[in-house]
Structure 1
Amino acid sequence: MELYCLESDIPVRAQPDPIILYDDRVLQSLLTIEDRFLPQCSYFQRVQKDIQPYMRRMVAGWMHEVCEEEKSNEDVFPLAINYLDRFLAVMPTRKSYLQLLGAVCIFLASKLKDCRQLSAEKLCMYTDNSITPRELLDWELVVLGKLKWNMASVIPNDFIEHIIRRLPLPKDKLPMVRKHTQTFIALCATDDRLAMNPPSMIATGSLGAAVCGLQLDHSDQRLSRDNLTDLLAKITNTEMDCLRACQEQIERVLTTSLQQGQQDGQETGVRAGNKARKLQDQSSTPTDVRDVNL
Structure 2
Amino acid sequence: MELFCHERADLNSSSPVKSAPIRAFRDAVLTRDTRVLQNLLSLEKPNISGKHIAGAESEELLRMRKILTGWMLQVCEEQKCEEEVFPLAVHYLDRYMSQSAVRPCHLQLLGSVCMFLASKLRETVPLSAETLSIYTDHACSVPEILQWEVLLVSHLQWDLASVLPSDFLELILLALPIPAQDHSSVRRHTHCYIALTATELKFSFFRPSVVACSCVTAALLRLKLLQDTVSAEQMLQMLSNMLDMDKASLHVCFSALEQMIEQTLPAPPVQTQDVPL
Pairwise TM-score range, normalised by the shorter structure: 0.7 to 0.9
Change (3 A) 1:40 1:226: closer
2:257 is the alignment partner of 1:257? no
Q: Name the residue aligned to 1:271.
A: none
The separation in 2 between residues aligned to 1:152 and 1:225, in whole angstroms, is 32
Q: Name the residue aligned to 1:64.
A: 73
Change (3 A) 1:130 1:168: same
* SS of residue paired to 1:195: helix
Q: Name the residue aligned to 1:31.
A: 41
- Select 1:191's aligned residue among 193, 200, 213: 200
Unaligned stretches of 5+ in structure 2? Answer: 11-19, 270-277
* SS of residue paired to 1:28: helix
The separation in 1 between residues aligned to 2:5 and 2:36, in whole angstroms, is 36
Measured against aligned partners, the alpha-carbon deviations of 1:48-95 in whole angstroms (never above 9, x if no partner) come to 467621111110000000000000011100000000000001111111
Alignment RMSD:
2.1
The separation in 2 between residues aligned to 1:126 and 1:43, in whole angstroms, is 29
AA aligned opposite 1:235:
M
Measured against aligned partners, the alpha-carbon deviations of 1:85-133 in whole angstroms (never above 9, x if no partner) come to 0000111111110000000000001111111111101101101111100
Q: Which has the higher contact order (CA 8 A, sep 6+)?
A: 1
Q: Name the residue aligned to 1:123.
A: 132
Q: In 2, are the aligned partners of 1:189 and 1:195 still within 8 Å (CA)?
A: yes
Change (3 A) 1:25 1:94: same
Q: Report the alpha carbon displacement of residue 6 of structure 1 after superposing the two structures with TM.
A: 7.3
The separation in 2 between residues aligned to 1:136 and 1:145, in whole angstroms, is 14
Q: Name the residue aligned to 1:266.
A: none
Q: Report the alpha carbon displacement of residue 247 of structure 1 after superposing the two structures with TM.
A: 0.9
The separation in 2 between residues aligned to 1:4 and 1:79, in whole angstroms, is 32
- Select 1:109's aligned residue among 95, 104, 118: 118
Alignment of structure 1 residues 3-14 onto 2, 5 Å: 7=6, 8-9=9-10, 10-14=20-24
2:234 is the alignment partner of 1:224? no
Q: Report the alpha carbon displacement of residue 183 of structure 1 after superposing the two structures with TM.
A: 0.5
The separation in 1 between residues aligned to 2:47 and 2:82, in whole angstroms, is 21
- Select 1:248's aligned residue among 218, 243, 255: 255
Q: Report the alpha carbon displacement of residue 13 of structure 1 after superposing the two structures with TM.
A: 1.6
Q: Report the alpha carbon displacement of residue 4 of structure 1 after superposing the two structures with TM.
A: 8.5
Q: Report the alpha carbon displacement of residue 21 of structure 1 after superposing the two structures with TM.
A: 0.9
Change (3 A) 1:151 1:4: closer
Q: In 2, are the aligned partners of 1:49 and 1:92 still within 8 Å (CA)?
A: no
Between stretches 132-141 and 46-55, larger displacement belongs to 46-55
Q: In 1, are the aligned partners of 2:217 and 2:236 still within 8 Å (CA)?
A: yes
Q: Report the alpha carbon displacement of residue 33 of structure 1 after superposing the two structures with TM.
A: 1.3
State the TM-score, normalized to the length of structure 1. Answer: 0.82
Q: Report the alpha carbon displacement of residue 227 of structure 1 after superposing the two structures with TM.
A: 1.5
2:216 is the alignment partner of 1:207? yes
The separation in 2 between residues aligned to 1:136 and 1:256, in whole angstroms, is 35
Q: Report the alpha carbon displacement of residue 143 of structure 1 after superposing the two structures with TM.
A: 0.2
The separation in 1 between residues aligned to 2:250 and 2:120, in whole angstroms, is 32
2:151 is the alignment partner of 1:175? no
Q: Report the alpha carbon displacement of residue 47 of structure 1 after superposing the two structures with TM.
A: 4.1
Identify the structure with the greater helix proportion. 1
Measured against aligned partners, the alpha-carbon deviations of 1:11-61 in whole angstroms (never above 9, x if no partner) come to 2322111221111111011111102x63232334x4446762111111000
Unaligned stretches of 5+ in structure 1? Answer: 263-294
Q: Report the alpha carbon displacement of residue 257 of structure 1 after superposing the two structures with TM.
A: 2.1
* SS of residue paired to 1:93: coil
AA aligned opposite 1:27:
L
AA aligned opposite 1:237:
D
Alignment of structure 1 residues 66-105 onto 2, 5 Å: 66-105=75-114
Count, aligned residues: 256
State the TM-score, normalized to the length of structure 2. Answer: 0.86
The separation in 2 between residues aligned to 1:243 and 1:43, in whole angstroms, is 21
Change (3 A) 1:94 1:166: same
Q: In 2, are the aligned partners of 1:63 and 1:77 still within 8 Å (CA)?
A: yes
Q: Percent identity?
A: 38
Q: In 2, are the aligned partners of 1:73 and 1:114 still within 8 Å (CA)?
A: yes
Q: Name the residue aligned to 2:29.
A: 19
Q: Name the residue aligned to 1:275.
A: none
Q: In 2, are the aligned partners of 1:42 and 1:89 still within 8 Å (CA)?
A: no
Q: In 2, are the aligned partners of 1:47 and 1:91 still within 8 Å (CA)?
A: yes
* SS of residue paired to 1:92: coil
